[in-house]
């Protein structure tokens, strides 16, 4: 059955219209995500942290990220909020991401990330940034929400693709990646591959390369 855009829009509005923009908890979006029919592609789901826009260049043909899902693709990059007692939707003058906990937009992305992680199945990829001090950043949505929800009864493995510029000095032995391994259910197979960003760009320019053959 197909998605009904009018219904999705009306349920989306119900989540936050007329509410204080700092008082929209993640569960406000529960009905929205229950209304949307989303097909997830096992063995092709990709998580990421601190690697946008590279990850999205790469996933156009091969993998599905949260931003390739129906709601993720529509809402990516947008700002929205309302005000207490208002019937309006505002796209400017909204609080900033870190101004409050139950932030209209932040709550949406936390719910969306949790739902995407709950659906993770088969062999899963995570593209992390080897050019920053802590590739597995403990405050990231990937660490705080997604990894904690990976389900070893639906997933077989997690492969970290650690993207590095030349001579970053980072490796798969990075202490933060050991922290990541400790978070995972021991039944999940864990792999890590160090991949230079130049290799991914080369792979993107050869459209006939098989999806997983870039690393």
Integer Cα distance of 28 and 213 in angstroms: 40
Q: Clarify whether 121 is annotated catalytic.
A: yes
3-state secondary structure of 139: coil
Backbone phi, psi, residue 17, to 5°: -65, 135
Query: Among residues 22, 100, 121, 172, which one is catalytic?
Result: 121
The size of the chain, in residues, is 215
Q: Which of 22, 42, 100, 172 does the annotation list as catalytic?
A: 42
Residues whose CB is less than 8 angstroms from the CB of residue 52 and which lie 6 or more positions away in sequence, other chains included: none
Q: Are 21 and 103 contacting, i.e. CB atoms less than 8 angstroms apart?
A: yes
110, 101 in Cβ contact below 8 A? no
Q: Is 214 in contact with 199 (CB distance < 8 Å)?
A: yes
**Residues β-bridged to residue 45:** 64
- Active-site positions? 42, 121
């Amino acid at each position: 059955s197909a998605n009904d855009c009018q219904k999705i829009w009306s349920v989306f509005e119900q989540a936050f219209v007329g509410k204080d923009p700092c008082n929209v908890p993640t569960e406000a979006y529960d009905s929205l995500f229950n209304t949307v029919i989303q097909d997830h592609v096992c063995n092709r789901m990709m998580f990421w942290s601190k690697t946008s826009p590279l990850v999205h260049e790469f996933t156009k043909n091969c993998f599905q990220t949260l931003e390739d899902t129906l709601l993720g693709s529509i809402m990516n990059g947008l700002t929205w909020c309302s005000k207490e007692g208002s019937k309006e939707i505002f796209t400017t003058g909204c609080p900033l991401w870190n101004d409050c906990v139950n932030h209209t937009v932040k709550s949406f992305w936390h719910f969306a990330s949790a739902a995407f992680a709950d659906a993770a199945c088969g062999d899963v990829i995570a593209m992390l940034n080897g050019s920053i001090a802590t590739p597995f950043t403990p405050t990231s949505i990937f660490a705080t929400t997604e990894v904690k929800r990976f389900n070893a009864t639906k997933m077989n493995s997690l492969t970290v693709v650690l993207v590095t510029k030349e001579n970053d000095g980072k490796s798969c032995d990075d202490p933060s990646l050991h922290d990541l391994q400790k978070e995972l259910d021991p039944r999940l197979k864990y792999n890590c591959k160090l991949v230079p960003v130049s290799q991914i760009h080369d792979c993107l320019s050869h459209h006939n390369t098989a999806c997983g053959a870039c690393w």
